Chain A
Amino acid sequence: MVTENAKRVVMDAERIDRSIARIAYEILEDNKGAGDLVIIAVRSGGILLSRRIRKKIAGIEAVEIPMGILDITLYRDDVVMTGKKPKMGETDIPFSLNDKKIVLVDDVIFTGRTIRAAMDALIDFGRPRVIRLAVLVDRGHRELPIRPDYVGEKLPSSLWENVNVNLSESGGDDEVVILQN
């Protein structure tokens, strides 16, 4: 039965933590260590997750990976078509991206349009050696040929559902929930 606020918890704190730990190990394995690695969080969903991944990597390799925040509003493909403008946030990448190995981080991948915008934005900042993509949840329904390199969990969802990632830093418990629209 679908009630108005039907909410299903699909990942709890423990599962989220294990996923993040695995992603951190996979990043270090692919990269053969933390050399030249930088993390770029997609505002705003990727910020807390990036900090978690960074902390895990620090726990494993004892290095602080540089982290930047990217606001993709100005690179969206629908921005001039909509009268009401999305609220802009600041981009803060206080280091050069030239020759860096970027791990782009967002909480959920859906159509892929956000990641397309983020990649275009990153290329405007310099010429990274490689861009890889880490997400906590892949909910399917891609509209562009984009595939994440590191995935916490694949959660096939219907188009009428919302997938929300909540991390305790913003209040509440660590959980991934599916909400009926």
Chain B
Amino acid sequence: MRKDILGLSDFSVDEINLVLDTAESFREISTRTIKKVPTLRGITVINLFYEASTRTRTSFEIAAKRLSADAINISTSTSSVTKGETLADTAKTLEAMSPDIIVIRHACAGAPHILARLLGQSIINAGDGSHEHPTQALLDMLTIRQKKGTIQDLKVVMIGDIMNSRVARSNMYGLTRMGARVTVCGPAMLIPRGIEGMGVTVETNMRKALQDADVVMMLRMQFERQQGAVFPSVREYARLFCLTVPMLEEAKDDAIVMHPGPINRGIEIAPEVADGFRSVILDQVTNGVAVRMALLYLLAGGRQ
């Protein structure tokens, strides 16, 4: 296993399968009465979050604790970052306390890569700007594989703010590598020019995009990253790109609906769909813990 998990752009099929297979075995631990194994005793994991997060941070914390690692959470609103410390200085300070793995989320693309170069510790990217969110894509792939048996040859449609979505980018790398046929869909202003080069199909009409889809992945509008007005109004967006029950009928009968969360009910996904029987949104959350346990396990002690 590599030292750091920075993104899926250079992950091989074998590596993805190793992580998914390992995660599959870890799922059982979360179903036990005593949800803890002693594997990572003495390993320290620092969760360094420069951006708001509930599910990812909690998921990493639970994953570490179920493996008996010590997890320390640092959120920048309460840390020395507010006193003007640079990322490099924060990193060096943390390093001096000898953690083993640092999980970082940052608004700037590339921040985890800077840490990986500066520090000997393993770095896991928990989301860097609009760049990558590898652990989310891995848990999405685990969920797809569980529900569909395979990823190969499935039609996966991602709908929403493709431009600003790190989840979309990591999934495009991972899913195309695993042999899925990926279609991206959204307002033309939110689809980067030349994205076909990543091996995906572009479709701006949602109805057309959904045809014969096996997997529908809805993305949240990243209002915090959009610069200027990218479309006239939220209401117009919802009218064109909200996944409603009639809209979902365009997809295959056994299509599954995914969302990385947090969901905006009534904007990109109708409540009846989010809570409906096709929705695997909560399975994704459960799988998130298993995938992060697998990654911590595979990374720990790797350099001794």
Residues of A within 8 A of B (CB): 71, 73-76, 79-85, 87-92, 120-121, 124-126
Contacts and interface: CB of A to CB of B under 8 A. Distances in A.
B301 A74 contact: no
B297 to A, nearest CB: 7
Given A75-B37, A124-B34, A83 B22 contact: no
Contact of A83 (B21, B28, B33, B301): B301
Given A80-B40, A83-B1, A125-B32, 18 more contacts: A71-B25, A74-B37, A74-B38, A75-B37, A79-B39, A79-B301, A80-B43, A80-B301, A81-B304, A83-B304, A84-B1, A85-B1, A85-B22, A85-B297, A88-B25, A90-B28, A121-B37, A124-B34
A83 B298 CA distance: 8
Nearest to A84: B1
A118 B42 CA distance: 20
Interface in B1-35: 1, 21-22, 24-26, 28-29, 32-34
A91 to B, nearest CB: 5
Contacts of B124: none
B303 interface: yes
Contacts of A82: 301, 304
A79 B40 CA distance: 8
A83 B303 contact: yes
A75 B38 contact: yes
B32 A124 contact: yes
Contacts of B21: 87-88
A6 to B, nearest CB: 34
15 contacts: A80-B301, A82-B301, A83-B1, A84-B1, A85-B22, A88-B22, A89-B25, A90-B24, A90-B25, A90-B28, A91-B28, A120-B38, A124-B34, A125-B32, A126-B33
A154 B41 CA distance: 35
Interface in B27-65: 28-29, 32-34, 36-43
B28 A92 contact: yes
A61 B67 CA distance: 41
Nearest to B22: A88
Contacts of A71: 25
A91 B34 CA distance: 14
B25 to A, nearest CB: 4
Nearest to A71: B25
A76 B40 CA distance: 10
Nearest to B23: A88
Nearest to A80: B301
B276 interface: no
Given A85-B298, A124-B37, A125-B32, A80 B25 contact: no
Contacts of A92: 28
Nearest to A76: B39
Nearest to B66: A74
B157 interface: no
Contacts of A126: 33
A144 B38 CA distance: 19
